Amino acid sequence: MPGILTAVWAEGGAVSAQELEMVRAAAGLAASLGCGMAALALGPVSRGAAPALQRVGAGEVIYSEEAALAAGPSEAGLAALAAAAADLQPALVCLAADSLGRDWAPRLAYRLGAGFVGEVTDIRVEAGVLLCERLVFGGKAIATMAARTETAVATLRPGAGREDGEPRRGSGPVRALGTRIPFEVHWPRRVRMESEQREGPGLEEAKVIVSGGRGLGGPEGFTALGELAAALGGAVGASRAAVDEGWAPATWQIGQTGKTVAPDLYIAVGISGASQHLVGCSRAKTIVAINQDPEAPIFDYARLGIVGDWREVVRAMTETVKEMRGW
């Protein structure tokens, strides 16, 4: 009987990097607890995800390819997840803190009567007790929480698990869930799928991120950042203020309510350095800030700071990088 159940949306056998990281973190936890760990792969043709899940430590892989899941992950996926949890009675259900995990986790916790901790930044076992850390007060403090219920549900942000070398390979059975999920007419049905069009690496994988904020003054600024990012082989990110202005898509948002990234180099352009933004980029190895205000808080966190108008600085940087690359 597994102690930890994880679930991923694995349509067509594909699992996101963030979900794989979550499964890996759960596998590490299971090893320190000495308990079992299963991964539930949901979606049409999800069985194909088993090798990838086992490479990051999943023991048993359970898959559900029920026809109801073809209508989209939300309701049918939750029903399948609840059925698996009812069957396996895990002590902990882990989901990635992505849009799907944020949708499923609190509703699953309600259905199971389980404790829920969202946006976990660190999860570990101390003296046999499972402890979850999460940021509170806009990222200014850390709360450490332990569930008082027999089952807990948690969403894990990237980096929540301890890295302890190579992931241990899981080798349990791969089996079908075996619970029928009949489609209910009131459930939403997926009408169409649009994949994000992005040239170059995604934010989660990028080694270099050039991120823009309200200081760009308009959407055109992101074209200039795109040029610099392309020259550096990186991706473009944004602050929430820039996203709220409609200058950048929501999928580019970095921070507390956006993505958590860990590039080697994070260039923050026209971003003030609010704590809610910094929680999303503080795992970057080097932060470079470009801001015209020498008192901007971002300079307290940046390894290198450039005080000036971003237009001049970014233009000069792009030209220099292109020159160095012989473009």
Residues that bind ligand FAD (CB under 6 A): 138, 213-215, 239-242, 253-258, 270-272, 274, 276-277, 280, 290-293, 296, 309-310
* DSSP state at residue 11: G
End-to-end CA distance of the chain: 58
Q: CB 76 → ligand FAD: shortest distance, Å?
A: 29
Is 16 exposed, middle or buried (CB count within 10 Å of its CB: 0-12, 13-18, 19+)? middle
Residue 43 backbone class (left: φ over 0; alpha: ψ -120 to 50; beta: rest): left
Nearer to ligand FAD, 54 or 155 (CB): 155
Q: What is the closest distance, in whole angstroms, from the C-beta atom of residue 95 to ligand FAD in the complex?
A: 19
CB of 190 to ligand FAD, least distance (A): 26
The distance of closest approach from Cβ of residue 15 to ligand FAD in the complex, given in angstroms and rounded to an integer, is 24
The Cα–Cα gap between 30 and 14 comes to 24
Write the single-letter amino acid at 183.
F
User: Could you give the CA distance from residue 167 to residue 121 in angstroms, rounded to a whole number?
Assistant: 19
Give the nearer residue to ligand FAD in terms of CB position, either 68 or 290: 290
Nearer to ligand FAD, 62 or 279 (CB): 279
Of 98, 87, 32, give the one whose Cα is nearest residue 60. 87
If the CB atoms of residues 48 and 297 are measured against ligand FAD, the closer one turns out to be 297
Q: What's the closest the beta carbon of residue 229 comes to ligand FAD, in angstroms?
A: 17
**Would residue 145 be called left, alpha or beta, if left means φ above 0 and alpha means ψ between -120 and 50 degrees?**
beta
Distances (CA, A) of 101 to 23, 49, 105, 263, 264: 13, 18, 6, 23, 27
Kindly tell me which of 151 and 291 has the beta carbon lying closer to ligand FAD: 291
Of residues 24 and 259, the one with the C-beta less far from ligand FAD: 259
Q: How far is the CB of 228 from ligand FAD (least distance, A)?
A: 14
